[in-house]
């Protein structure tokens, strides 16, 4: 090698850097649409009590219509009209409503829980995991007293103050976020009773929560007392109440802090008050206070806030649920509960299949290649498999020849 002065010098050998690289592996197998459809159909048939033995409507056809309607976020009517070789929508609705009497709501809930539990990976750790519990409301517009008896009242939203309400327990572990249990909430049930039912279900599945993350719907003193007695660490979102007193009186200053607070019934709890800056409608950043009830945890306010943000995986699961949930105008609340459960089951099936078949080939702990198998692709593959089985309507009858207008 010649230097700047024109002299010859020794050539330095390039240094070798020893870096671990994942092998460029060529996948030898494929997860096909019919495989995804077969596993989804088997999961539903093994756990949900829905049968049809007619000459034009079978059990597989019923579940396929429900799967396609959920994957497309459409109704049973629209799905039956789109498929060529299926029974009439009135026949399908008759079978479904017959299998879902409102008097057997708890039996239907148990079947849904068994289907959800069947999607838990065998390698999932069950001790010391983080679990979130939340409520979810679905608007209900029925007027009959017997159907409204199983709906819960609440603040008016989407044109109604009556809702079909479910509560779910949701595990957060690596890239696996599964709904472990669902409970159909009736209007006479208290939040503490709902919490005990979900925790009992988790115990039956051998899950132990390191930390519970609860929605503001569980911010009640009986729940604080119960979790403290059970020595269960938890973080509960606490709504800011009062005009000048109550928890609003704690929204003072410019910095976050923790404090001891005594509720009206004498229950004492530790509150973490987080001061955040949020832009308003004009774009100006204004201070917004967030309150969290901290039970048996010695965490800073920032850690409480950051860890609780992970709880919004629950909200993420509900966003996913909206993408795989069939719509209906039925006045049967049991059907609405049923369609919500199918959406949760489909989401669990997708998470399980992604964990098993979309593994990222790399060094380190097991990870998922999320871009390879997203929820949208899962839904599209299900739809294509079902459409291939039953065919689709590709034409409509008309009184006029398209040749005279289009060509």
pLDDT of res. 17: 46
143 and 230 belong to one structural domain: yes
Please, which pLDDT band fits residue 7 given cuts at 50, 70 and 90? low
pLDDT of res. 20: 46
Q: Strands 208-214 and 234-238, how do they pair?
A: parallel
Let me know: does 275 contact 254? Beta carbons within 8 Å. yes
Let me know: does 65 contact 80? Beta carbons within 8 Å. yes
239 and 171 belong to one structural domain: yes
A 10 A CB-CB count for 194 gives: 22
Residue 403 within any structural domain of the chain: no
156-163: long-range contacts (C-beta < 8 A, 24 or more apart)?
Answer: 163/137, 163/138, 163/139
Beta strands in 186-223 (DSSP E): 208-214
Distance, in Å, from the CA atom of 64 to the CA atom of 338, rounded to the nearest integer, reads: 15
Tell me the mean pLDDT in the region 197-202: 96
pLDDT of res. 279: 86
Share of the chain above pLDDT 70, in %: 92
292 and 143 belong to one structural domain: yes
- Tell which residue, 121, 288, 114, has the closest CA to residue 201: 114
45 and 133 belong to one structural domain: no
Angle, CA of 268, 167 and 274, to the nearest 5°: 40
Residue 396 within any structural domain of the chain: no
Number of domain units in the chain = 2
Q: Given a cut of 90, is residue 111 above it in pLDDT?
A: yes
Distance, in Å, from the CA atom of 110 to the CA atom of 135, rounded to the nearest integer, reads: 18
Write the DSSP string, 40-91. HHHHHHHHS----B-SS-BHHHHHHHHHHHHHHT--HHHHHHHBSSS--HHH
- Least reliable range by pLDDT among 139-143, 205-209, 265-269, 340-344: 139-143
139 and 267 belong to one structural domain: yes
Tell me the mean pLDDT in the region 370-388: 94
115 and 97 belong to one structural domain: no
Q: Strands 268-279 and 160-173, how do they pair?
A: unpaired
Residue 406 within any structural domain of the chain: no
Task: Give the domain range for residue 281.
Answer: 104-321
Angle, CA of 325, 331 and 336, to the nearest 5°: 25
Q: Given a cut of 50, is residue 8 above it in pLDDT?
A: no
Residue 289 within any structural domain of the chain: yes
Q: Given a cut of 90, is residue 33 above it in pLDDT?
A: yes
pLDDT of res. 241: 86
Beta strands in 193-267 (DSSP E): 208-214, 234-238, 257-262
Q: Which of 295, 321, 347 is the last residue of a domain?
A: 321
203 and 248 belong to one structural domain: yes
Q: Given a cut of 90, is residue 349 above it in pLDDT?
A: yes
Please, which pLDDT band fits residue 313 given cuts at 50, 70 and 90? low
Q: Given a cut of 80, is residue 320 above it in pLDDT?
A: yes
- Tell which residue, 401, 344, 385, 57, has the closest CA to residue 180: 344
Beta strands in 140-222 (DSSP E): 152-157, 160-173, 176-185, 208-214
Beta bridge mates, 279: 285
Residue 187 within any structural domain of the chain: yes
Residue 407 within any structural domain of the chain: no
The rounded Cα 233 to chain-centroid distance in angstroms is 23
Let me know: does 185 contact 152? Beta carbons within 8 Å. yes
220 and 295 belong to one structural domain: yes
Q: Which of 298, 321, 344 is the last residue of a domain?
A: 321
Let me know: does 75 contact 385? Beta carbons within 8 Å. no
For the packed helices 333-357 and 89-99, what is the interaxial angle rounded to 10 degrees? 90
Q: Given a cut of 50, is residue 41 above it in pLDDT?
A: yes
Q: Which of 275, 301, 321 is the last residue of a domain?
A: 321
119 and 188 belong to one structural domain: yes
- Which helix (H) or strand (E) is 272 found in, with range? strand 268-279
In 274-372, which ranges are continuous DSSP H helix? 301-309, 313-323, 333-357
Residue 22 within any structural domain of the chain: no
- Tell which residue, 2, 312, 31, has the closest CA to residue 177: 312
- Rounded to two decimals, what is the model's pTM? 0.88
The DSSP secondary-structure symbol of 250 reads: G
146 and 54 belong to one structural domain: no
245 and 179 belong to one structural domain: yes
Beta bridge mates, 288: 276
Residue 237: which CATH number? Answer: 3.90.350
The rounded Cα 393 to chain-centroid distance in angstroms is 32
61 and 115 belong to one structural domain: no
Residue 363 within any structural domain of the chain: yes
């Amino acid at each position: 090698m010649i230097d700047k002065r024109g002299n010859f010098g020794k050539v330095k050998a390039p240094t070798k850097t020893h870096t671990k690289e994942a092998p460029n592996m060529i996948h030898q197998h494929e997860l096909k649409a019919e495989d995804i459809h077969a596993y989804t159909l088997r999961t539903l048939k093994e756990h949900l009590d829905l049968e049809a033995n007619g000459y034009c409507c079978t059990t597989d056809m019923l579940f396929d219509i429900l799967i396609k309607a959920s994957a497309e976020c459409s109704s049973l009517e629209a799905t039956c009209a789109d498929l060529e070789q299926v029974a009439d929508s009135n026949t399908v609705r008759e079978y479904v409503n017959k299998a879902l009497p409102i008097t057997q709501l708890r039996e239907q809930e148990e079947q849904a829980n068994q289907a959800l539990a069947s999607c838990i990976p065998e390698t999932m750790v069950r001790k010391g995991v983080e679990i979130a519990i939340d409520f979810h409301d679905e608007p209900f517009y029925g007027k009959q007293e017997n159907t409204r008896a199983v709906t819960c009242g609440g603040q008016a939203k989407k044109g109604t103050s009556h809702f079909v309400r479910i509560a779910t327990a949701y595990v957060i572990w690596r890239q696996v976020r599964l709904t472990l249990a669902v409970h159909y909430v009736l209007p006479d049930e208290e939040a503490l009773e709902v919490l005990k039912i979900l925790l009992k279900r988790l115990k039956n599945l051998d899950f132990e929560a390191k930390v519970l993350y609860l929605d503001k719907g569980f911010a009640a003193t009986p729940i604080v007392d119960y979790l403290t007695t059970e020595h269960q660490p938890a973080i509960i979102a606490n709504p800011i109440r009062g005009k000048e007193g109550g928890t609003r009186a704690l929204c003072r200053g410019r910095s976050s802090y923790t404090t001891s607070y005594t509720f009206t019934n004498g229950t004492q709890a530790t509150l973490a008050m987080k001061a955040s800056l949020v832009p308003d409608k004009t774009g100006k950043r204004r201070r917004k206070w967030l309150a969290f009830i901290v039970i048996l945890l010695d965490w800073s306010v920032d850690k409480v806030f950051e860890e609780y943000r992970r709880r919004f995986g629950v909200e993420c699961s509900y966003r996913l649920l909206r993408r795989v949930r069939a719509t209906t105008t039925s006045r049967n609340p049991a059907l609405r509960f049923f369609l919500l459960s199918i959406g949760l089951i489909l989401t669990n099936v997708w998470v399980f299949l992604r964990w098993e078949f979309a593994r990222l080939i790399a060094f380190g702990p097991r990870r998922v290649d999320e871009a390879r198998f997203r929820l949208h692709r899962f839904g599209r593959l299900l739809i294509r498999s079902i459409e291939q089985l039953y065919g689709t309507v590709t034409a409509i009858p008309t009184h006029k020849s398209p040749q005279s207008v289009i060509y």
